[in-house]
Structure 1
Amino acid sequence: MIKSYRYQAEAMVKDYLLADSFLPYTSVLCGIFTCKMAYDLTKLVSSVNLKSYASLTKIQRIEWNNRGMSSAHAVFITMMSLYLVFISDIFSDQPKEPVTLRSSNISTFTLGVSVGYFLTDLAMIFWLFPSLGGFEYIIHHSLSLCAITYAMLTGEGQLYTYMVLISETTTPTINIRWFLDTAGMKRSSAYIINGVVLFFAWLVARIFLFIYLFHHIYLHHDEVRQMHIFGYLLAFVVPSSIFIMNVMWFSKILKGVKKILAKRQ
Protein backbone atom coordinates (compact mmCIF):
# COMPACT_ATOMS: atom_id res chain seq x y z
CA MET A 1 0.00 0.00 0.00
CA ILE A 2 2.76 2.44 0.99
CA LYS A 3 4.81 1.49 -2.07
CA SER A 4 1.78 2.09 -4.28
CA TYR A 5 1.30 5.62 -2.92
CA ARG A 6 5.03 6.29 -3.27
CA TYR A 7 5.03 5.22 -6.93
CA GLN A 8 1.96 7.37 -7.61
CA ALA A 9 3.65 10.36 -5.96
CA GLU A 10 6.87 9.83 -7.94
CA ALA A 11 4.87 9.53 -11.17
CA MET A 12 2.98 12.76 -10.41
CA VAL A 13 6.21 14.62 -9.69
CA LYS A 14 7.85 13.33 -12.87
CA ASP A 15 4.85 13.74 -15.20
CA TYR A 16 3.54 17.05 -13.91
CA LEU A 17 5.68 19.00 -11.45
CA LEU A 18 8.98 18.32 -13.26
CA ALA A 19 7.56 18.14 -16.78
CA ASP A 20 9.23 20.60 -19.17
CA SER A 21 6.08 22.71 -19.54
CA PHE A 22 5.54 23.02 -15.77
CA LEU A 23 9.17 23.10 -14.64
CA PRO A 24 9.69 26.89 -14.59
CA TYR A 25 6.52 27.55 -12.59
CA THR A 26 7.13 24.66 -10.20
CA SER A 27 10.65 25.86 -9.53
CA VAL A 28 9.48 29.44 -8.84
CA LEU A 29 6.93 28.18 -6.31
CA CYS A 30 9.64 26.00 -4.79
CA GLY A 31 11.87 29.06 -4.46
CA ILE A 32 9.15 31.10 -2.74
CA PHE A 33 8.34 28.23 -0.37
CA THR A 34 12.02 27.72 0.45
CA CYS A 35 12.40 31.44 1.20
CA LYS A 36 9.50 31.23 3.65
CA MET A 37 11.12 28.23 5.33
CA ALA A 38 14.51 29.97 5.59
CA TYR A 39 12.87 33.13 6.98
CA ASP A 40 10.94 31.19 9.63
CA LEU A 41 13.94 29.01 10.51
CA THR A 42 16.14 32.09 10.99
CA LYS A 43 13.48 33.58 13.24
CA LEU A 44 13.16 30.38 15.30
CA VAL A 45 16.90 29.75 15.72
CA SER A 46 17.66 33.39 16.53
CA SER A 47 14.87 33.76 19.10
CA VAL A 48 15.97 30.59 20.91
CA ASN A 49 19.76 30.99 20.82
CA LEU A 50 20.43 34.74 20.72
CA LYS A 51 19.52 36.94 23.68
CA SER A 52 20.14 40.11 21.69
CA TYR A 53 17.44 39.11 19.16
CA ALA A 54 14.63 39.88 21.60
CA SER A 55 15.94 43.42 22.15
CA LEU A 56 15.75 44.29 18.44
CA THR A 57 13.00 46.47 17.06
CA LYS A 58 10.29 44.93 14.88
CA ILE A 59 11.92 46.25 11.70
CA GLN A 60 15.34 44.99 12.81
CA ARG A 61 13.94 41.51 13.47
CA ILE A 62 12.31 41.46 10.04
CA GLU A 63 15.57 42.51 8.40
CA TRP A 64 17.48 39.95 10.50
CA ASN A 65 15.21 37.16 9.27
CA ASN A 66 15.30 38.53 5.72
CA ARG A 67 19.10 38.42 5.71
CA GLY A 68 19.01 34.83 6.91
CA MET A 69 16.76 34.07 3.95
CA SER A 70 19.05 35.85 1.49
CA SER A 71 22.09 34.04 2.90
CA ALA A 72 20.40 30.66 2.36
CA HIS A 73 19.65 31.58 -1.26
CA ALA A 74 23.20 32.86 -1.77
CA VAL A 75 24.77 29.61 -0.56
CA PHE A 76 22.45 27.53 -2.76
CA ILE A 77 22.79 29.59 -5.94
CA THR A 78 26.57 30.00 -5.56
CA MET A 79 27.13 26.25 -5.27
CA MET A 80 24.81 25.50 -8.19
CA SER A 81 26.30 28.26 -10.36
CA LEU A 82 29.88 27.12 -9.75
CA TYR A 83 28.88 23.54 -10.55
CA LEU A 84 26.98 24.39 -13.75
CA VAL A 85 29.57 26.86 -15.08
CA PHE A 86 32.85 25.14 -14.21
CA ILE A 87 32.14 21.45 -13.49
CA SER A 88 29.19 20.19 -15.54
CA ASP A 89 29.48 19.77 -19.31
CA ILE A 90 26.33 21.76 -20.12
CA PHE A 91 28.30 24.89 -21.02
CA SER A 92 31.62 23.27 -21.90
CA ASP A 93 33.53 24.27 -25.05
CA GLN A 94 32.95 20.90 -26.68
CA PRO A 95 31.37 21.16 -30.16
CA LYS A 96 27.64 21.40 -29.53
CA GLU A 97 24.93 23.94 -30.20
CA PRO A 98 25.87 27.58 -29.39
CA VAL A 99 26.76 28.02 -25.72
CA THR A 100 24.22 30.82 -25.47
CA LEU A 101 21.36 28.47 -26.37
CA ARG A 102 22.16 25.57 -24.02
CA SER A 103 20.07 24.61 -21.03
CA SER A 104 18.91 21.59 -19.07
CA ASN A 105 16.18 20.72 -16.60
CA ILE A 106 18.50 21.22 -13.65
CA SER A 107 19.76 24.60 -14.91
CA THR A 108 16.21 25.79 -15.60
CA PHE A 109 14.93 24.57 -12.23
CA THR A 110 17.77 26.29 -10.38
CA LEU A 111 17.02 29.58 -12.13
CA GLY A 112 13.36 29.21 -11.15
CA VAL A 113 14.31 28.86 -7.49
CA SER A 114 16.33 32.06 -7.81
CA VAL A 115 13.38 33.83 -9.47
CA GLY A 116 11.26 32.80 -6.48
CA TYR A 117 13.82 34.34 -4.13
CA PHE A 118 14.10 37.64 -6.01
CA LEU A 119 10.31 37.92 -6.21
CA THR A 120 10.02 37.33 -2.47
CA ASP A 121 12.82 39.71 -1.54
CA LEU A 122 11.62 42.43 -3.92
CA ALA A 123 8.11 42.17 -2.47
CA MET A 124 9.53 42.62 1.04
CA ILE A 125 11.62 45.60 -0.09
CA PHE A 126 8.52 47.32 -1.53
CA TRP A 127 6.45 46.38 1.52
CA LEU A 128 8.89 47.94 4.00
CA PHE A 129 10.50 50.55 1.72
CA PRO A 130 13.06 51.91 2.40
CA SER A 131 13.88 49.89 5.55
CA LEU A 132 15.27 46.88 3.66
CA GLY A 133 16.98 48.84 0.90
CA GLY A 134 16.69 51.93 -1.26
CA PHE A 135 16.25 52.43 -4.99
CA GLU A 136 19.64 50.84 -5.77
CA TYR A 137 18.33 47.53 -4.39
CA ILE A 138 15.14 47.83 -6.42
CA ILE A 139 17.18 48.47 -9.59
CA HIS A 140 19.57 45.59 -8.82
CA HIS A 141 16.75 43.12 -8.05
CA SER A 142 14.62 44.22 -11.02
CA LEU A 143 17.49 43.80 -13.49
CA SER A 144 18.42 40.43 -12.00
CA LEU A 145 14.81 39.25 -12.01
CA CYS A 146 14.31 40.28 -15.63
CA ALA A 147 17.45 38.49 -16.84
CA ILE A 148 16.94 35.34 -14.77
CA THR A 149 13.27 35.01 -15.78
CA TYR A 150 14.14 35.41 -19.46
CA ALA A 151 16.90 32.79 -19.24
CA MET A 152 14.58 30.42 -17.36
CA LEU A 153 11.66 30.70 -19.82
CA THR A 154 13.64 30.74 -23.08
CA GLY A 155 16.76 28.74 -22.22
CA GLU A 156 18.90 31.51 -23.74
CA GLY A 157 21.92 33.05 -22.06
CA GLN A 158 21.86 30.74 -19.04
CA LEU A 159 25.66 30.55 -18.92
CA TYR A 160 26.02 34.32 -18.50
CA THR A 161 23.14 34.39 -16.04
CA TYR A 162 24.95 31.88 -13.84
CA MET A 163 28.22 33.81 -14.13
CA VAL A 164 26.45 36.86 -12.74
CA LEU A 165 24.75 34.78 -10.03
CA ILE A 166 28.15 33.59 -8.75
CA SER A 167 28.48 37.12 -7.38
CA GLU A 168 25.90 36.13 -4.74
CA THR A 169 28.84 34.50 -2.92
CA THR A 170 29.44 37.89 -1.28
CA THR A 171 25.94 38.04 0.25
CA PRO A 172 26.64 35.95 3.39
CA THR A 173 29.64 38.13 4.31
CA ILE A 174 27.55 41.28 3.79
CA ASN A 175 24.86 39.84 6.05
CA ILE A 176 27.36 38.70 8.70
CA ARG A 177 28.71 42.25 8.74
CA TRP A 178 25.20 43.57 9.42
CA PHE A 179 24.50 40.86 12.04
CA LEU A 180 27.68 41.72 13.96
CA ASP A 181 26.99 45.44 13.76
CA THR A 182 23.40 45.01 14.96
CA ALA A 183 24.53 42.74 17.80
CA GLY A 184 26.96 45.42 19.01
CA MET A 185 30.10 43.60 17.85
CA LYS A 186 31.39 46.22 15.44
CA ARG A 187 34.73 46.46 17.26
CA SER A 188 35.27 42.72 17.50
CA SER A 189 37.97 40.77 15.64
CA ALA A 190 35.24 38.82 13.86
CA TYR A 191 33.92 42.06 12.36
CA ILE A 192 37.37 43.02 11.05
CA ILE A 193 38.11 39.55 9.67
CA ASN A 194 34.71 39.46 7.97
CA GLY A 195 35.40 42.87 6.43
CA VAL A 196 38.68 41.67 4.94
CA VAL A 197 36.99 38.51 3.61
CA LEU A 198 34.23 40.65 2.10
CA PHE A 199 36.82 42.83 0.38
CA PHE A 200 38.57 39.91 -1.36
CA ALA A 201 35.31 38.05 -2.10
CA TRP A 202 33.87 41.17 -3.71
CA LEU A 203 37.05 41.78 -5.70
CA VAL A 204 37.00 38.24 -7.12
CA ALA A 205 33.25 37.59 -7.53
CA ARG A 206 31.99 41.05 -8.47
CA ILE A 207 34.97 42.65 -10.24
CA PHE A 208 37.32 40.03 -11.74
CA LEU A 209 34.52 37.59 -12.58
CA PHE A 210 32.58 40.27 -14.47
CA ILE A 211 35.71 41.17 -16.44
CA TYR A 212 36.01 37.48 -17.35
CA LEU A 213 32.31 37.46 -18.33
CA PHE A 214 32.76 40.42 -20.69
CA HIS A 215 35.82 38.72 -22.18
CA HIS A 216 33.80 35.53 -22.72
CA ILE A 217 31.02 37.49 -24.44
CA TYR A 218 33.62 39.10 -26.71
CA LEU A 219 35.13 35.71 -27.65
CA HIS A 220 31.70 34.14 -28.28
CA HIS A 221 30.02 37.16 -29.85
CA ASP A 222 28.92 35.15 -32.91
CA GLU A 223 27.02 32.82 -30.60
CA VAL A 224 25.60 35.71 -28.55
CA ARG A 225 24.19 37.19 -31.77
CA GLN A 226 22.12 34.03 -32.30
CA MET A 227 19.97 34.94 -29.32
CA HIS A 228 16.74 36.86 -29.80
CA ILE A 229 17.21 40.63 -29.79
CA PHE A 230 15.82 41.00 -26.26
CA GLY A 231 18.15 38.32 -24.92
CA TYR A 232 21.05 39.87 -26.86
CA LEU A 233 20.42 43.23 -25.21
CA LEU A 234 20.08 41.64 -21.77
CA ALA A 235 23.48 39.97 -22.19
CA PHE A 236 25.07 43.42 -22.41
CA VAL A 237 22.80 45.73 -20.42
CA VAL A 238 22.28 43.68 -17.24
CA PRO A 239 25.92 42.65 -16.53
CA SER A 240 27.14 46.14 -17.41
CA SER A 241 24.62 47.85 -15.13
CA ILE A 242 25.32 45.49 -12.23
CA PHE A 243 29.07 45.85 -12.77
CA ILE A 244 28.81 49.63 -12.47
CA MET A 245 26.92 49.22 -9.17
CA ASN A 246 29.51 46.66 -8.03
CA VAL A 247 32.33 49.13 -8.64
CA MET A 248 30.48 51.88 -6.76
CA TRP A 249 29.81 49.58 -3.78
CA PHE A 250 33.39 48.28 -3.90
CA SER A 251 34.75 51.80 -3.49
CA LYS A 252 32.67 52.10 -0.31
CA ILE A 253 33.94 48.74 0.95
CA LEU A 254 37.52 49.82 0.26
CA LYS A 255 37.01 53.04 2.24
CA GLY A 256 35.46 51.05 5.10
CA VAL A 257 38.37 48.59 5.24
CA LYS A 258 40.92 51.42 5.23
CA LYS A 259 39.02 53.18 8.01
CA ILE A 260 38.81 50.08 10.20
CA LEU A 261 42.47 49.16 9.72
CA ALA A 262 43.53 52.74 10.47
CA LYS A 263 41.58 52.70 13.74
CA ARG A 264 43.01 49.29 14.58
CA GLN A 265 46.57 50.54 14.14
Structure 2
Amino acid sequence: MRDPIIAPSSLVHFTNPLARTLSLRTLPLHAHEILPSFTLYTYLNSSIAPLASHHLFPKTYPNLDARTKVNWNARAVSLLQSCCINTAALAVIYLDKERWTMGPRERVWGYTGASGMVQGFAAGYFLWDLMISAAHLDVHGPGVLMHAVSALAVSLLGFRPFCNYYGLNFVLYELSTPLLNIHWFMDKLGMTGSTAQLVNGIALVTTFGASRLVWGTYQSVRMYQDIWAAFEAPAGLPVPPWLAVAYVVSNTTLSVLNFYWFGKMITTLRKRFEKPGKEDDGMNSKK
Protein backbone atom coordinates (compact mmCIF):
# COMPACT_ATOMS: atom_id res chain seq x y z
CA MET A 1 0.00 0.00 0.00
CA ARG A 2 1.42 3.36 -1.04
CA ASP A 3 1.84 6.41 1.13
CA PRO A 4 -1.34 8.40 0.42
CA ILE A 5 0.55 11.66 0.97
CA ILE A 6 2.81 12.41 -1.99
CA ALA A 7 6.37 13.43 -1.09
CA PRO A 8 7.59 16.72 -2.68
CA SER A 9 10.45 15.90 -5.05
CA SER A 10 12.48 18.88 -3.82
CA LEU A 11 12.40 17.61 -0.24
CA VAL A 12 13.28 14.09 -1.38
CA HIS A 13 16.38 15.42 -3.18
CA PHE A 14 17.29 17.65 -0.24
CA THR A 15 17.21 14.82 2.31
CA ASN A 16 18.87 12.17 0.11
CA PRO A 17 22.46 12.99 1.21
CA LEU A 18 21.54 12.65 4.90
CA ALA A 19 19.65 9.43 4.19
CA ARG A 20 22.65 7.93 2.37
CA THR A 21 24.98 8.93 5.20
CA LEU A 22 22.74 7.29 7.81
CA SER A 23 21.85 4.32 5.56
CA LEU A 24 18.15 5.13 5.93
CA ARG A 25 17.08 4.45 2.36
CA THR A 26 13.37 5.28 2.65
CA LEU A 27 13.79 8.35 4.88
CA PRO A 28 13.52 10.87 2.00
CA LEU A 29 10.14 9.37 1.06
CA HIS A 30 8.76 10.37 4.47
CA ALA A 31 10.65 13.53 5.37
CA HIS A 32 7.47 15.44 4.44
CA GLU A 33 5.77 13.69 7.36
CA ILE A 34 8.60 13.86 9.87
CA LEU A 35 9.48 17.55 9.57
CA PRO A 36 5.94 19.02 9.49
CA SER A 37 4.80 16.85 12.42
CA PHE A 38 7.83 17.88 14.47
CA THR A 39 7.12 21.55 13.65
CA LEU A 40 3.41 21.16 14.42
CA TYR A 41 4.03 19.57 17.83
CA THR A 42 6.57 22.24 18.70
CA TYR A 43 4.05 24.97 17.84
CA LEU A 44 1.23 23.24 19.71
CA ASN A 45 3.39 22.92 22.81
CA SER A 46 4.70 26.47 22.79
CA SER A 47 1.64 28.41 21.59
CA ILE A 48 -1.65 26.59 21.01
CA ALA A 49 -1.73 24.48 24.20
CA PRO A 50 -1.06 27.41 26.57
CA LEU A 51 -3.51 29.69 24.75
CA ALA A 52 -6.29 27.10 24.57
CA SER A 53 -5.76 26.05 28.18
CA HIS A 54 -6.08 29.66 29.39
CA HIS A 55 -9.48 29.92 27.68
CA LEU A 56 -10.80 26.44 28.46
CA PHE A 57 -9.59 26.23 32.08
CA PRO A 58 -9.32 29.86 33.29
CA LYS A 59 -9.56 28.88 36.95
CA THR A 60 -6.91 26.16 36.78
CA TYR A 61 -4.22 26.69 34.15
CA PRO A 62 -3.17 30.26 35.05
CA ASN A 63 -2.64 29.21 38.67
CA LEU A 64 -0.35 26.28 37.90
CA ASP A 65 3.33 26.61 38.72
CA ALA A 66 5.89 26.70 35.90
CA ARG A 67 6.85 23.01 36.19
CA THR A 68 3.23 21.85 36.07
CA LYS A 69 2.52 24.07 33.05
CA VAL A 70 5.42 22.43 31.21
CA ASN A 71 3.92 19.02 31.98
CA TRP A 72 0.38 20.18 31.11
CA ASN A 73 1.40 21.50 27.68
CA ALA A 74 3.39 18.37 26.85
CA ARG A 75 0.48 16.16 27.85
CA ALA A 76 -1.91 18.17 25.71
CA VAL A 77 0.33 17.50 22.71
CA SER A 78 0.70 13.84 23.71
CA LEU A 79 -3.08 13.45 23.99
CA LEU A 80 -3.69 14.84 20.50
CA GLN A 81 -0.81 12.93 18.93
CA SER A 82 -1.75 9.57 20.44
CA CYS A 83 -5.34 9.84 19.20
CA CYS A 84 -4.13 10.65 15.66
CA ILE A 85 -1.34 8.06 15.46
CA ASN A 86 -3.56 5.29 16.85
CA THR A 87 -6.19 6.00 14.21
CA ALA A 88 -3.60 6.02 11.41
CA ALA A 89 -1.88 2.83 12.61
CA LEU A 90 -5.11 0.87 12.98
CA ALA A 91 -6.30 2.02 9.55
CA VAL A 92 -3.05 0.95 7.83
CA ILE A 93 -2.89 -2.39 9.67
CA TYR A 94 -6.42 -3.12 8.47
CA LEU A 95 -6.19 -1.73 4.92
CA ASP A 96 -2.61 -2.56 3.87
CA LYS A 97 -3.03 -5.98 2.24
CA GLU A 98 0.72 -6.24 1.55
CA ARG A 99 1.34 -6.57 5.27
CA TRP A 100 -1.04 -9.52 5.51
CA THR A 101 1.05 -11.66 3.13
CA MET A 102 4.49 -10.95 4.64
CA GLY A 103 6.63 -13.86 5.79
CA PRO A 104 9.56 -13.69 8.27
CA ARG A 105 11.97 -12.20 5.72
CA GLU A 106 9.49 -9.52 4.61
CA ARG A 107 8.64 -8.65 8.21
CA VAL A 108 12.34 -7.90 8.83
CA TRP A 109 13.38 -6.31 5.52
CA GLY A 110 10.03 -5.43 3.94
CA TYR A 111 8.51 -1.99 3.55
CA THR A 112 5.23 -0.42 2.48
CA GLY A 113 4.66 3.27 1.90
CA ALA A 114 1.63 3.38 4.21
CA SER A 115 3.58 1.85 7.10
CA GLY A 116 6.38 4.32 6.40
CA MET A 117 3.86 7.16 6.60
CA VAL A 118 2.78 6.15 10.11
CA GLN A 119 6.39 5.75 11.20
CA GLY A 120 7.15 9.16 9.71
CA PHE A 121 4.52 10.84 11.83
CA ALA A 122 5.68 8.82 14.85
CA ALA A 123 9.32 9.80 14.25
CA GLY A 124 8.34 13.47 14.08
CA TYR A 125 6.62 13.17 17.44
CA PHE A 126 9.43 11.24 19.12
CA LEU A 127 11.97 13.75 17.80
CA TRP A 128 9.90 16.50 19.46
CA ASP A 129 9.51 14.34 22.57
CA LEU A 130 13.28 13.87 22.80
CA MET A 131 13.81 17.62 22.55
CA ILE A 132 11.21 18.40 25.24
CA SER A 133 12.32 15.58 27.56
CA ALA A 134 15.96 16.69 27.38
CA ALA A 135 15.12 20.39 27.81
CA HIS A 136 12.90 19.67 30.85
CA LEU A 137 14.58 16.63 32.32
CA ASP A 138 13.80 17.87 35.84
CA VAL A 139 10.07 17.78 34.99
CA HIS A 140 9.71 14.63 32.91
CA GLY A 141 12.48 12.52 34.46
CA PRO A 142 15.10 10.14 33.01
CA GLY A 143 12.55 7.40 32.26
CA VAL A 144 10.68 9.57 29.79
CA LEU A 145 13.97 10.62 28.18
CA MET A 146 15.00 6.96 27.80
CA HIS A 147 11.61 6.24 26.25
CA ALA A 148 12.01 9.09 23.74
CA VAL A 149 15.52 7.96 22.71
CA SER A 150 14.49 4.31 22.29
CA ALA A 151 11.24 5.08 20.47
CA LEU A 152 13.01 7.47 18.07
CA ALA A 153 15.69 4.85 17.39
CA VAL A 154 13.08 2.19 16.58
CA SER A 155 11.21 4.63 14.32
CA LEU A 156 14.31 5.74 12.41
CA LEU A 157 15.65 2.21 11.90
CA GLY A 158 12.34 1.46 10.21
CA PHE A 159 13.54 3.69 7.36
CA ARG A 160 16.55 1.46 6.63
CA PRO A 161 14.08 -0.29 6.16
CA PHE A 162 14.38 -2.69 9.09
CA CYS A 163 11.40 -4.20 10.94
CA ASN A 164 9.11 -1.61 9.36
CA TYR A 165 6.34 -4.18 9.83
CA TYR A 166 6.89 -4.37 13.59
CA GLY A 167 7.46 -0.67 14.00
CA LEU A 168 3.86 -0.08 13.03
CA ASN A 169 2.66 -2.76 15.47
CA PHE A 170 4.62 -1.13 18.30
CA VAL A 171 2.91 2.20 17.58
CA LEU A 172 -0.18 0.63 19.16
CA TYR A 173 1.50 1.06 22.55
CA GLU A 174 -0.06 4.50 22.26
CA LEU A 175 -3.58 3.10 22.72
CA SER A 176 -3.20 3.61 26.47
CA THR A 177 -1.75 7.13 26.23
CA PRO A 178 -5.01 9.13 25.91
CA LEU A 179 -6.39 7.52 29.08
CA LEU A 180 -3.14 8.14 30.95
CA ASN A 181 -3.16 11.83 30.05
CA ILE A 182 -6.86 12.19 30.90
CA HIS A 183 -6.15 10.64 34.31
CA TRP A 184 -3.42 13.22 34.94
CA PHE A 185 -5.63 16.12 33.81
CA MET A 186 -8.37 14.92 36.17
CA ASP A 187 -5.97 15.35 39.08
CA LYS A 188 -5.22 18.93 38.12
CA LEU A 189 -8.92 19.72 37.63
CA GLY A 190 -9.86 18.62 41.14
CA MET A 191 -11.32 15.26 40.14
CA THR A 192 -8.93 13.07 42.14
CA GLY A 193 -10.73 10.10 43.64
CA SER A 194 -13.93 10.78 41.70
CA THR A 195 -16.07 8.07 40.12
CA ALA A 196 -15.10 9.37 36.68
CA GLN A 197 -11.42 9.01 37.52
CA LEU A 198 -12.00 5.51 38.89
CA VAL A 199 -13.69 4.45 35.66
CA ASN A 200 -10.89 6.04 33.65
CA GLY A 201 -8.31 4.34 35.88
CA ILE A 202 -9.83 0.89 35.31
CA ALA A 203 -9.91 1.52 31.56
CA LEU A 204 -6.32 2.80 31.72
CA VAL A 205 -4.95 -0.24 33.53
CA THR A 206 -6.84 -2.60 31.20
CA THR A 207 -5.71 -0.83 28.03
CA PHE A 208 -2.13 -0.35 29.22
CA GLY A 209 -1.83 -4.01 30.15
CA ALA A 210 -3.41 -5.21 26.90
CA SER A 211 -1.59 -2.91 24.47
CA ARG A 212 1.84 -2.60 26.07
CA LEU A 213 2.34 -5.78 28.09
CA VAL A 214 0.32 -8.46 26.28
CA TRP A 215 0.35 -7.17 22.68
CA GLY A 216 3.81 -5.62 23.07
CA THR A 217 5.40 -8.77 24.52
CA TYR A 218 3.78 -10.96 21.85
CA GLN A 219 5.02 -8.72 19.04
CA SER A 220 8.50 -8.52 20.61
CA VAL A 221 8.80 -12.31 20.77
CA ARG A 222 7.69 -12.63 17.14
CA MET A 223 10.15 -9.92 16.13
CA TYR A 224 13.05 -11.61 17.96
CA GLN A 225 12.21 -14.87 16.20
CA ASP A 226 12.14 -13.22 12.79
CA ILE A 227 15.40 -11.35 13.40
CA TRP A 228 17.08 -14.57 14.54
CA ALA A 229 15.84 -16.36 11.41
CA ALA A 230 17.18 -13.52 9.26
CA PHE A 231 20.45 -13.53 11.22
CA GLU A 232 20.98 -17.18 10.25
CA ALA A 233 19.94 -16.62 6.64
CA PRO A 234 22.23 -17.50 3.70
CA ALA A 235 25.03 -15.15 2.69
CA GLY A 236 23.78 -11.82 1.39
CA LEU A 237 20.62 -11.85 3.52
CA PRO A 238 21.67 -11.92 7.19
CA VAL A 239 21.04 -9.11 9.65
CA PRO A 240 24.22 -7.17 10.60
CA PRO A 241 24.90 -7.87 14.31
CA TRP A 242 25.07 -4.17 15.24
CA LEU A 243 21.68 -3.54 13.64
CA ALA A 244 20.03 -6.42 15.44
CA VAL A 245 21.57 -5.33 18.76
CA ALA A 246 20.54 -1.68 18.30
CA TYR A 247 16.93 -2.55 17.51
CA VAL A 248 16.59 -5.24 20.17
CA VAL A 249 18.14 -3.04 22.89
CA SER A 250 15.86 -0.12 22.00
CA ASN A 251 12.76 -2.30 21.94
CA THR A 252 13.72 -4.10 25.15
CA THR A 253 14.23 -0.75 26.88
CA LEU A 254 10.69 0.22 25.94
CA SER A 255 9.35 -3.11 27.22
CA VAL A 256 11.16 -2.82 30.55
CA LEU A 257 9.85 0.74 31.02
CA ASN A 258 6.31 -0.44 30.25
CA PHE A 259 6.45 -3.13 32.94
CA TYR A 260 8.00 -0.69 35.42
CA TRP A 261 5.37 1.98 34.74
CA PHE A 262 2.58 -0.58 34.99
CA GLY A 263 3.71 -1.55 38.49
CA LYS A 264 3.92 2.11 39.53
CA MET A 265 0.51 2.73 38.02
CA ILE A 266 -1.15 -0.04 40.03
CA THR A 267 0.49 1.19 43.25
CA THR A 268 -0.55 4.78 42.59
CA LEU A 269 -4.16 3.95 41.76
CA ARG A 270 -4.49 1.85 44.90
CA LYS A 271 -3.15 4.65 47.09
CA ARG A 272 -5.18 7.28 45.29
CA PHE A 273 -8.54 5.65 45.92
CA GLU A 274 -7.70 4.56 49.43
CA LYS A 275 -6.78 8.14 50.31
CA PRO A 276 -8.44 10.55 47.85
CA GLY A 277 -6.31 13.51 46.90
CA LYS A 278 -2.98 11.81 47.50
CA GLU A 279 -0.77 11.79 44.41
CA ASP A 280 2.23 9.71 43.51
CA ASP A 281 5.01 10.01 40.95
CA GLY A 282 3.91 6.77 39.34
CA MET A 283 1.39 8.62 37.15
CA ASN A 284 3.80 11.37 36.13
CA SER A 285 5.03 9.74 32.93
CA LYS A 286 3.20 11.03 29.87
CA LYS A 287 3.83 7.72 28.11
* TM-score, with length taken from structure 1: 0.83
Amino acid of the residue matched to residue 76 of structure 1?
C
Q: Secondary structure at the match of 1:72?
A: helix
1:16 maps to 10
2:17 maps to none
Rate the CA distance shift 1:63–1:21 in 2: closer, same or farther, 3 A: closer
Give the alignment partner of residue 36 of structure 2, picking from 21, 26, 30: 30
2:213 maps to 207
Q: Which moved more, 1:67-76 or 1:236-245?
A: 236-245
Deviations 1:182-224 (A, max 9, x none): 2222122222111111100111011101221134235534246
2:16 maps to none
Q: Which moved more, 1:64-73 or 1:25-34?
A: 25-34
Rate the CA distance shift 1:167–1:96 in 2: closer, same or farther, 3 A: closer
Q: Secondary structure at the match of 1:184?
A: coil
Q: Secondary structure at the match of 2:129?
A: helix
Amino acid of the residue matched to residue 51 of structure 2?
L
2:54 maps to 47
Q: What is the aligned-residue RMSD (CA, Å)? A: 2.6
Give the alignment partner of residue 248 of structure 2, picking from 216, 230, 236: 236
1:222, 1:38 → 2: CA distance?
43
- 1:143 and 2:150 aligned: yes
1:115-264 superposed matches below 5 A: 115-131=123-139, 133-152=140-159, 154-217=160-223, 220=226, 221-223=228-230, 226-262=238-274
2:77, 2:12 → 1: CA distance?
25
2:208, 2:259 → 1: CA distance?
10
Amino acid of the residue matched to residue 130 of structure 1?
D
Rate the CA distance shift 1:173–1:218 in 2: closer, same or farther, 3 A: same
Rate the CA distance shift 1:219–1:59 in 2: closer, same or farther, 3 A: closer
Q: Which moved more, 1:13-22 or 1:191-200?
A: 13-22
1:50, 1:21 → 2: CA distance?
40
1:5 maps to none
Displacement, 1:257? Answer: 3.1
Give me the identity figure in percent: 20
2:22 maps to none
1:179, 1:259 → 2: CA distance?
18
Amino acid of the residue matched to residue 64 of structure 1?
W
Displacement, 1:92? Answer: 1.4
Q: What is the total number of aligned residue pairs between the two structures?
A: 251
**Unmatched runs of 5 consecutive residues or more in structure 1:** 1-11
Displacement, 1:81? Answer: 2.2
Amino acid of the residue matched to residue 68 of structure 1?
A
Q: Retained in 2: the 8 A contact 1:90–1:104?
A: yes
Q: Which moved more, 1:60-69 or 1:97-106?
A: 97-106
**Unmatched runs of 5 consecutive residues or more in structure 2:** 1-5, 14-25, 233-237, 277-287
Amino acid of the residue matched to residue 231 of structure 1?
L
Rate the CA distance shift 1:248–1:64 in 2: closer, same or farther, 3 A: same
Q: Which moved more, 1:26-35 or 1:211-220?
A: 211-220
Q: Secondary structure at the match of 1:90?
A: helix
1:72, 1:217 → 2: CA distance?
29
Q: Retained in 2: the 8 A contact 1:98–1:223?
A: no
Amino acid of the residue matched to residue 120 of structure 2?
G
Q: Retained in 1: the 8 A contact 2:7–2:30?
A: no
Amino acid of the residue matched to residue 144 of structure 2?
Y
2:82 maps to 74
Q: Retained in 2: the 8 A contact 1:160–1:235?
A: no
Rate the CA distance shift 1:110–1:17 in 2: closer, same or farther, 3 A: farther
